[in-house]
A and B are shown apart, each in its own frame.
Chain A
């Protein structure tokens, strides 16, 4: 009874934190807007100052929603990968998804624009980059999935994922080597990640694809729990291992791939957050870990976004450097504190 109440408190606390950070993320930014004005805009959609309503409705709310869903997606896919590979340092990117997305964007930004006639090609728009990243990560995913239905040993897939990742990274380096400075800058900025570049119409694609990925993740809770005990046990439970892997990989790729396509690669959320969830809930049961990881992931990314905005300052920092600075100490602390991953 007592422990039930404690659990309830933990959940309530996490939900309140998430909600508070979400609201704060909308209220704080590099432009100072009076709180009253923001309330007014949130409830009526209008403001005396048209630039304020444009900033709140078209910049801050989409950015806060992106941070929320990116936090959900990256941390859940991290949890899935850590369980599947039985490796505490696995994250959404071990399958080479981010490298694949980088390759897609690099070919578009560096390759196409330096080797072809730009005037005929036109402007490299927002959507074009998203599609290139998606195709890139989809291609790598397809390779990994094709292998995963043939290969028995999960370690083989891990190694192949890393090899594909390295191979694409080196192709990206070659493209960088041959491209002009301004194009290189455009690509480097993409790799720094950004939550604020996602527009409202892009959210209509991002949120549904992340939601499908999350639903698949919740449907895979039983498989993940069974795999945690061991593949032989899972088999004896009547689980089709290859099919389950396929299902989980697909969900991960949808989650991490969509976020990478729209926001660029955002690191460390996927590795660090599942560990925080394990610490708080002290369980390996994915029924609890999965929603817990989701809530914490959303909070961590919203918090990182608020720091990156440097409220009140003119400029902002790249989100990727903030998530690294927030994530790395957590990973180090956990590794040192719990040298044995008993709950893994």
Chain B
């Protein structure tokens, strides 16, 4: 009996060793010598794209908040038959894809820029989609709703026969969805643009999405163009002495969630020549603050942004009547990012805003420093009076 156990253990060890060897052998496929070029990624930190002779390798690192040393790798090729053997963790995806399911509305924005709207067959939360062309397709039942987070309709997704499901994750549970979809034989990729701290870093994920359509060049062209416009706007505000103090968000009861000092919002405010109250904070995640703290620190704020679902000043008082004593409410300027909103509360700021950081920045400069611009028409923001 004992002998059998020992043999069994030895056998397993043997298998494990041989597996390891095989993996490292397969890893040679990706040696530097074979790589033709690495796609130039300037701001995004979450992915890289390497071009090889007959395939492309995409590596995604730590694609959700708090993920450590987690890596997903995808090999993309037009012809997947003649490829060498890859390590086991690699997912092979045939390009270009023509049927895509998007689990976040931001993915639609990327695809829209690439003029590939007609490839979208399913979306999570169709009612929140703002894009008019895609909305039209939803109304014509050409694009279906595939359900939410824990409520994804796997059978429906499978029946759509997608080439690709673009997922996103706010936690490790995304690994669960991916697993489940993979079991159904569906290719999934994680798009983690929401973790990027720089607005251009978020936009840069368009290069990631474009690779699946073989549209890398048009993505780069679009990106370079926006980057140029964004940086020109930043130049306008650099060196400004007088910066208005900026407050962001709305409280829920006595807790006020404000963006961390290293967040995307904080970066936009800084680039637009504003002085964000929590700019010294080191976090990129939201901070939960006591409302009295915000009342005290926000007392001198001249600009108050992103006030939730608010449309006018009266509504702020229905949330909490104490705001009538809040200086930014009395004397400040309030602007909300819900200028473009659909009937169901889907806000375009969070959708196409992702591919138009220069437009958001232009809006913010129009609010903070109208004297710097000739045209101060707001796109995503609206004044709350």
Q: Which A residues are within 8 Å of any B CB, using their own CB? A: 29-31, 50-52, 54-55, 58-60, 63, 113, 117-119, 122-123, 125-128, 177-178, 180-181, 186, 189-190, 194-197, 199-201, 309, 314-316
Which of A113, A125, A196 contacts B319, CB < 8 Å? A125
Q: Interface digits, B296-332 against A, CB 8 Å rule (1 contact, 0 not)?
A: 1001000000001111000100111110011100000
* Interface residues, chain B, with chain A CB atoms under 8 Å away: 125, 128, 148-151, 170, 252-255, 287-293, 295-296, 299, 308-311, 315, 318-322, 325-327, 341, 343-345
Interface residues of B: mostly helix, strand, loop or mixed?
Answer: mixed
Closest A-chain residue to B341, C-beta based?
A119
Contact yes or no, A59 B343, CB < 8 A: no
CB distance from B322 to the nearest CB of A (A): 5
In the complex, are the beta carbons of A315 and B289 less than 8 A apart? Answer: yes
Q: Is the CB of B322 within 8 A of A59?
A: yes
Are B253 and A315 in contact (CB-based, < 8 A)?
no
Contacts of A119 in B (CB 8 A): 341, 343, 345
- Say which residue of A51, A189, A196 sits within 8 Å of B296 (CB atoms): A51
What does DSSP make chain A's interface, helix, strand, loop or mixed?
helix
List of 5 A-B pairs having minimum Cβ-Cβ separation, nearest first: A196-B254, A197-B253, A125-B318, A118-B345, A30-B290
Whole-angstrom CA separation of A50 from B326 in the bound complex: 10
Cβ–Cβ < 8 Å partners of B170 in chain A: 181
Q: Which of B125, B128, B309, B325 contacts A54 (CB 8 A)?
A: B325
Closest to B310 in A: A123
Bound CA span A50–B330, Å: 13
A185 (CB) vs chain B CBs: closest residue: B252
Contact B254 A189 (CB under 8 A): no
B315 touches A122 (CB 8 A): yes
Contact check, A51 vs B148: say whether CB atoms are below 8 A apart: no
Inter-chain CA distance A122–B344, complex, in Å, is: 11
Asked if B151 contacts A178 (CB within 8 A), the reply is yes
**Residue pair A186, B252 in contact (C-beta under 8 Å):** yes
The answer to whether B254 touches A195, judged by C-beta atoms less than 8 angstroms apart, is yes
Q: Is the CB of A177 within 8 A of B150?
A: yes
Contact B148 A315 (CB under 8 A): no
User: What are 15 A-B interface contacts by the 8 Å CB criterion?
Assistant: A54-B325, A59-B254, A113-B345, A118-B309, A125-B318, A128-B318, A178-B148, A180-B128, A195-B254, A196-B292, A197-B253, A314-B287, A315-B287, A315-B289, A316-B254
